[in-house]
């Protein structure tokens, strides 16, 4: 097997493991906090991508403007999102996380990634060094890939908390 194919298979295996665990953790957190997955997804989108207009949410989530507005309404009522006028276009409404919303996503992130500390503890010093050498290159390479029009943008890479 050539190295490119083997690397692809290892990355795919890691992605499947990571995504399965991440989705399970996200579903559990959303359910425990009374959020639907679309609501939780919107909070995470605002957390990583910053404020936006309601119609942007419709495009990014591939739902109608009315559905996006209903999704936002529920989060506004919960105090997790704030809706304001766009100073450049008074007809458009901007949405952004409130401090309560940001704190909720911070908590979700802390809970979702708690397992990473246990995972790292399972690695030898040599394996940890290999991770430190290879993963930043993988992240940088992904950053050079083209994005689609529904992509909210790439969040800044966090290297520590």
Domains annotated for the chain, with CATH where assigned, are 19-142 (1.10.10.10)
- Please tell me the predicted confidence (pLDDT) of residue 86: 72
**Are the beta carbons of 49 and 147 closer than 8 angstroms?**
no
Other Cβ atoms within 10 Å of 41 Cβ, number: 17
CA-CA distances (angstroms) from residue 67 to 24, 74, 85, 108? Answer: 25, 11, 19, 25
Q: 54-58, 96-100, 141-145: lowest mean pLDDT where?
A: 54-58
* Token duo for residue 6: 């083997």
pTM: 0.76
Per-residue pLDDT tens for 108-139? Answer: 999 888 889 899 999 999 999 999 999 999 99
Entry field: residues in the chain? 161
* Token duo for residue 61: 């989530």
Show Cβ contacts of residue 89 under 8 Å, excluding neighbours closer than 6 positions: none
């Amino acid at each position: 097997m050539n190295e490119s194919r083997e690397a692809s298979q290892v990355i795919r295996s890691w992605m499947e493991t990571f995504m399965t665990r991440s989705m399970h953790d996200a579903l559990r957190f959303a359910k425990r906090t009374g959020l639907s997955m679309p609501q939780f997804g919107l909070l995470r989108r605002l957390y990583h991508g910053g404020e936006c207009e309601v119609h942007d949410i419709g495009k990014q989530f591939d739902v109608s403007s009315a559905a996006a507005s209903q999704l936002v309404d529920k989060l506004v009522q919960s105090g997790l999102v704030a809706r304001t006028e766009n100073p450049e276009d008074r007809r458009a409404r901007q949405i952004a996380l409130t401090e309560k919303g940001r704190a909720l996503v911070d908590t979700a992130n802390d809970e979702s990634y708690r397992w990473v500390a246990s995972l790292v503890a399972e690695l030898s010093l040599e394996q940890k060094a290999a991770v430190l050498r290879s993963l930043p290159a993988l992240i940088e390479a992904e950053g050079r890939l083209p994005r689609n029009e529904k992509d909210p943008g790439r969040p800044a890479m966090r290297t520590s908390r």
